[in-house]
Amino acid sequence: MKLSKRATDVINLLRGTDHYLTSTEIASQLLISTKTIGRLIHKINAGTSSGKLIAGVKGQGYKLNYSNYLSEVIGGQIRISETQISAVERQRNSLEQLLKASPRALKNQDLFGDYYVSESVINQDIKAIRDVLRAYDIKLQNKAHRLNVVGTEHDVRRALQDIFFDRNIIDIDLSLDKHGEINTYSMDLCRTQLQLIERELETNISYPYNINILSHLYILVTRYQSGGTEPRRSVHLGPEALQVIVDNQTLYQVAQDVIVNVEGFLNTAIPESEIYNLLQYLLSSRLSLHDQVSMVVSQDKKVRDVTSFYIQEVGALLDLQTDAGILLGDLAKHIRPMINRLEHHIGIRNVLLEDIQQEYPGILKAVSKVSSRVATEFDLPEISIDENGFISLYFAKYFEQSRQNLQALVVCTTGLATSKLIETKVGMAFPEVVVIGTGASKDVTDKTVESIHANLVISTVLLNKVKTIPVVIVSAMLTRLDKERIRSVISRMRGSEKMLSDITNPQLIQVGLQVTDWRDAVRKSATPFINEGVATSSYVEGMITTAEESGPYIVISKGIALPHARPELGVKKIGVAIATLADPVNFGNKDNDPVRFVFALCAIDNKSHLKALSELVDFVGDQAFLDSLSKAKRPEDVYALIKDYEERIY
């Protein structure tokens, strides 16, 4: 069994210690989740024949069984990936040498001699390298058994940085790479300069920005050490670049100090354009210096517009009720440097991407879809999957915060034993609900729940004095159906279920509608769909055709009609239009005619409307609700009645 790079990293980490390491300790050093650690260890142990390679002890962590490890390695049962040189790795090594030396030519023998491969294999490697370079607009020249790459300095460094990222040459803790492929003295210099930047800016530069800056400096040093001519050419700075320098004097001075130190290390002059390049990397990082001026960031029009676009469009795709004010400030602090990275073609690598894809696939998919539109709408380059992963984390964080524990008050007639029984059952069935108190129904009012910061009441009796937060009415035994009601309320509070009040509004409601017959009743009751952009006129006519073809089954109970049609006939979004008729009309249903109330339905699929429809069925089965509905004088009264009943029922 050949181990993956991550599995190899886990084994190497455990091989370097004689005590147990917890999954959290392993995860923090390898920058992957504890769940991924568990999956890797399970896969390692499942693929070995000598027993468990990694032993786990509850409460202590994991430790390498060195005897089993030696048996597997000596017996050839496992191959550590870092000791294997595949064709891809060979090609990547050669490509790295060519990029470091660019534009100087290197002999084929110097590039491939140590691998002892045939001429045909070398030709295959050259073709593969050329294909890789094409993505960076870099050409590979092959003359007289010598290879060299030709491209702009920016593109050469971009390709080198991607190689460093792919090979994890610079580790997340900014240590030297595990493979011994970094010049120790050069890296020490670069780490010292990163510390200098942090010290002068009085900030701590976090991942991934520290890696970006460190790799930029190391590649800069490597290119000058290679003796190539391209990096020594000074690039003329235009008016726009000079204005950026004027606007960011503090950062420019820090970048200048770093480049002066690099000049001393290399004992060679470095053009001013390298100071500007480093400045752009600083501007493309999230620094506390920028966070302190978050008000300015949020007021920058492009940053604000892009951030708001993400919040609105991702929220719509995920059906996530977002508070733009909460998200805007935090996300804008990421979007600002991201825009700078995109505009200056500065890449970034997200080592958390695999975990994000596993933990939040829906969020990542939505963000990626919106990013494609952002690039078009705001004239930006294509936004990478790595960038999308970081943006997804902000929405995931908001999502998780919105799922924080609900604080519930349990109420019954007396407030004694029954309340305690319900409290125990709620705690077992709903870990996200914290019961913060129990009480007798006579003592519970809006003022009571406000004083203890409750946001949900679970009660065995109706509470007429509580109208500001949801009240779920349950039986004393808290049956399965009761638990379903509680789950439904929790889902609605978190925005994952739509209730009737979510899919209708006063603009879709008509009171005292004058109609001539059932067709007129359907057509007029559904007219607001057209006016409000919920559906087309074709859909409205389709409701009539459906009733003509299938019969008056749409009269679902006495006096209640529920006309609808297939979504493909013209539904644009989910909605319910409500009409009370001035004079009841017959629909042809002997059991339930005449109809006085029409609830026209628009559904975009088979699921999104089910909760609202279930609620509607409950409402129309409640004679008290229908009596109140018949007395309503305005659309606003009907909508308020629905909201009131939702709060009372749930």
Alpha carbon distance 30, 204 (integer Å): 20
* Residue 603: per-residue pLDDT: 83
CA 193 to chain centre: 33
* Residue 163: per-residue pLDDT: 84
**Of 383, 387, 386, whose CA–CA distance to 372 is shortest?**
383
Shared domain for 356 and 238, answered yes or no, is no
**Element housing 420 (H / E):** helix 417-429
Confidence of residue 431 (pLDDT cuts 50, 70, 90): confident
Domain assignment present for residue 394? The answer is no
Question: Coil, strand, or helix at residue 63?
Answer: strand
**Of 469, 446, 451, 455, whose CA–CA distance to 405 is shortest?**
455
Range scoring the smallest mean pLDDT among 167-181, 428-442, 454-468, 474-488: 167-181
Shared domain for 606 and 633, answered yes or no, is yes
Shared domain for 130 and 97, answered yes or no, is yes
**Of 496, 472, 493, whose CA–CA distance to 484 is shortest?**
472
Domain assignment present for residue 396? The answer is no
In tens, the pLDDT along 562-614 reads: 999 888 888 888 889 999 999 999 999 988 899 999 999 988 765 555 656 66
* Residue 84: per-residue pLDDT: 46
Mean pLDDT, residues 350-369 taken together: 87
Q: Is the pLDDT of residue 277 over 50?
A: yes
Q: Is the pLDDT of residue 134 over 90?
A: yes
The b/e string for 304-339 (b: 16+ C-beta within 10 A; e otherwise) is bebbbbbbebbbeebebebeeeebbeebbbbbbbbb
Domain assignment present for residue 189? The answer is yes
| Secondary structure string (H, E, C) spanning 73-113 | HHCCCCECHHHCCCHHHHHHHHHHHHHHHCCCCEEHHHHHH
* Residue 496: per-residue pLDDT: 53
Site of tokens 């290390």? 265
Shared domain for 523 and 453, answered yes or no, is no
Whether residue 133 contacts residue 148, with contact meaning beta carbons closer than 8 Å, is answered with: no
Confidence of residue 299 (pLDDT cuts 50, 70, 90): very low
Q: Is the pLDDT of residue 310 over 90?
A: yes
Whether residue 370 contacts residue 310, with contact meaning beta carbons closer than 8 Å, is answered with: yes
Pick the more confident residue, 76 or 84. Answer: 76
Shared domain for 95 and 68, answered yes or no, is no
Domain assignment present for residue 575? The answer is yes
Shared domain for 255 and 135, answered yes or no, is yes
Pick the more confident residue, 256 or 423. Answer: 256
Shared domain for 481 and 512, answered yes or no, is no
Give the Å distances, CA to CA, from 425 to 422, 433, 454, 462, 469. 5, 11, 18, 20, 21
CA 559 to chain centre: 47
* Residue 373: per-residue pLDDT: 96
Q: Is the pLDDT of residue 335 over 90?
A: yes
Range scoring the smallest mean pLDDT among 75-89, 123-137, 535-549: 75-89
* Residue 624: per-residue pLDDT: 83
Domain assignment present for residue 359? The answer is yes
| Secondary structure string (H, E, C) spanning 133-161 | HHCCCCEEEEECCEEEEECCHHHHHHHHH
Q: Position 124: which residue type?
A: Q
Q: Is the pLDDT of residue 180 over 50?
A: no
Domain assignment present for residue 609? The answer is yes
Residue at a domain's end among 31, 65, 83: 83
| Sequence-distant (≥ 6) Cβ neighbours of residue 256 within 8 angstroms | 275
Pick the more confident residue, 116 or 218. Answer: 218
Catalytic residues: 564
Range scoring the smallest mean pLDDT among 59-63, 135-139, 284-288, 491-495: 491-495
The angle that helices 361-377 and 301-318 make with each other, rounded to 10 degrees, is 140
What is the CATH classification number for the domain harbouring 13? 1.10.10.10
Confidence of residue 463 (pLDDT cuts 50, 70, 90): confident
**Of 449, 498, 457, whose CA–CA distance to 474 is shortest?**
457
Whether residue 292 contacts residue 329, with contact meaning beta carbons closer than 8 Å, is answered with: no
Pick the more confident residue, 533 or 502. Answer: 533
Mean pLDDT, residues 450-467 taken together: 85
* Residue 7: per-residue pLDDT: 83
Strands 595-602 and 575-585: antiparallel
Give the Å distances, CA to CA, from 551 to 186, 288, 447, 516, 559. 83, 68, 52, 19, 16
Residue 377's domain comprises: 293-337+346-382
Shared domain for 111 and 242, answered yes or no, is yes
Q: Is the pLDDT of residue 204 over 80?
A: yes
Q: Give the 3-state secondary structure percentages of the chain, helix then strand then coil, rounded to 5.
A: 60, 10, 30
Confidence of residue 506 (pLDDT cuts 50, 70, 90): very high
Mean pLDDT, residues 127-145 taken together: 93
Whether residue 339 contacts residue 303, with contact meaning beta carbons closer than 8 Å, is answered with: yes
Long-range contacts of 241-249 (CB under 8 A, 24+ apart): 241/276, 244/276, 244/279, 244/283, 245/276, 245/279, 248/279, 248/282, 248/283
Residue at a domain's end among 476, 493, 510: 493
Confidence of residue 648 (pLDDT cuts 50, 70, 90): low
Alpha carbon distance 359, 202 (integer Å): 35
Alpha carbon distance 232, 156 (integer Å): 14
* Residue 48: per-residue pLDDT: 74
Whether residue 138 contacts residue 157, with contact meaning beta carbons closer than 8 Å, is answered with: no
* Residue 293: per-residue pLDDT: 40
**Element housing 595 (H / E):** strand 595-602
Alpha carbon distance 30, 634 (integer Å): 63
Strand arrangement, sheet containing 139-143:
106-107, 146-150, 139-143
The HSE-up count of residue 536 (CA atoms within 13 Å, CB side) is 9
Shared domain for 248 and 324, answered yes or no, is no
H-helix segments, 267-300:
272-283, 288-291, 294-299
In tens, the pLDDT along 365-421 reads: 999 999 999 999 999 999 999 999 999 998 888 776 666 678 899 988 755 667 778
What is the CATH classification number for the domain harbouring 419? 3.40.50
The pTM of the full predicted model, rounded to 2 decimals, is 0.53
Give the Å distances, CA to CA, from 507 to 31, 306, 573, 595, 633. 52, 31, 15, 22, 14
Mean pLDDT, residues 321-349 taken together: 84
Shared domain for 593 and 543, answered yes or no, is yes
Q: How many domains does the chain have?
A: 5
Shared domain for 489 and 515, answered yes or no, is no
Shared domain for 320 and 434, answered yes or no, is no
Dump the DSSP string for 108-129. HHHHHGGGT--HHHHHHHHHHH
Average model confidence (pLDDT) for the chain? 83
Strand arrangement, sheet containing 433-440:
433-440, 406-412, 456-459, 471-473
Residue 503: how many CB atoms within 10 A of its CB? Answer: 23
Domain assignment present for residue 388? The answer is no
Structure token digits, residue 146: 């010598």
Domain assignment present for residue 400? The answer is no
* Residue 82: per-residue pLDDT: 41
* Residue 351: per-residue pLDDT: 77
Note if the bond before 103 is cis, omega within 30 degrees.
yes
Range scoring the smallest mean pLDDT among 59-68, 187-196, 244-253, 330-339: 59-68
The b/e string for 393-428 (b: 16+ C-beta within 10 A; e otherwise) is bbbbebbeeeeeebbbbbbbeebeebbeebbebbee
Residue at a domain's end among 288, 312, 328: 288
In tens, the pLDDT along 16-26 reads: 777 888 888 88
